[in-house]
Amino acid sequence: MFVCVSTECLPDMPLAAAMERLAELEFTAVELDVHEHGGHLQPAAVAADPEAAIAQCSDLQRLRPVAVSFAAAETPEMYDHFTACCRLAKSLGVVTMVVESSEQGTPFNGEIDRLRRLVSIASGLGGIVAVKTSAGRMTQDAETTASLCRNVPGLGVTLDPSHFIFGQKKPASWEPILKYVAHVHLRDTKPDAFQVRIGQGNVEYGKLVAQLQRVGYKRALCAHMPPLEGADQLAELRKMRLTLETYL
C-alpha cells in the first residue's frame, strides 16, 4: 500500500499549481479528477482534444498518477467521454478509473447494464472500474455494492469509509466489499460531520489498513479532502500524509 492524494483537495488552483503544491507536501502519487463540474479537467474537453489533455498532464511535478476520477451526467455522450478519459489514463500509465454509481432508486438491472458497459470500455483499454461507495447512491450500503460486483465481472470498489460513519449511530460494516476494493478515499469523519480535521473524527486508519492487508490490498490510500472552512488545507493534507504513513 502507498499514500496518494486527489487533485480535488486543491480545487481552486490550476492543475499545474496544484501539482506543484502537492509535490511540496511530499506526496508522491496522485489521483486526477476529470469532472464535468469543478474538475481540473473536463470529460468533454478531454474527448474534444485528447492531445491538449495529455499536455496538461505532462508536468506532474514528479507525482505518479495512479487513478483517474471520472464524473459526468448520464447523457448519450457520456460513454464517448469515458472512453476518451480511459485513453488518457492509459497514456499516463493509469489503471484505476473511479466512477460514481447511480442514485438510490435506480433500477438494479439498469445499473448492472450501465456498469457492465463502463467495465467493458475500461478493460478494453487496460483499465479497471472502481465504483465509489457513497450515501444517496446505490453503493450506500456494502451488501448492495457487493451484489453489483458479483453481477458485473471485473468491477472493483473505491471504498470511502466516511459514508459508513456519517449519519450512523455506529459505523456500518464494509466487510462484504473488502475483497473488491481497488482504491480508497480517506478523510476524517464523525457521525454528525462528514469531514473534520484530521485526528478529530472516528476513522480508524490503523484498523482499516489491517483489514486491507488481510485481503492482500496493495494499492493506494488516497487523501480525498476538500478544503474545510477554518482549517489550513495544506497543514491538513500534510497531517493526513504523515498519519497514513505511520501505518504502512
> 58 CB contacts (<8 Å, ≥6 apart)?
none
CATH of domain 2-245: 3.20.20.150
Q: Check the CA dihedral 37-172-219-199 and report its sign.
A: positive
Q: So what's the pLDDT on residue 172? A: 86
Q: pLDDT value at position 231?
A: 95
Going by the DSSP 8-state scheme, the letter that residue 180 receives in this structure is G
* Burial tier of 191 (Cβ tally within 10 Å: 0-12, 13-18, 19+): middle
Note the pLDDT of residue 22.
96
Domain ranges of the chain: 2-245
> Interhelix angle for 108-124 vs 78-92, to 10°?
40
pLDDT tens-place string over residues 151-201 = 999 999 999 999 999 998 887 899 999 999 999 999 999 999 999 999 999
Position 78 pLDDT exceeds 90: yes
Tens-digit pLDDT profile for residues 79-102: 999 999 999 999 999 999 999 999
pTM of the model: 0.95
Question: So what's the pLDDT on residue 132?
Answer: 98
Assess whether pLDDT exceeds 90 at residue 215: yes
Backbone angles phi, psi at 247, to 5 degrees: -100, 0
Interstrand relation of 188-190 and 193-196 (parallel, antiparallel or unpaired): antiparallel
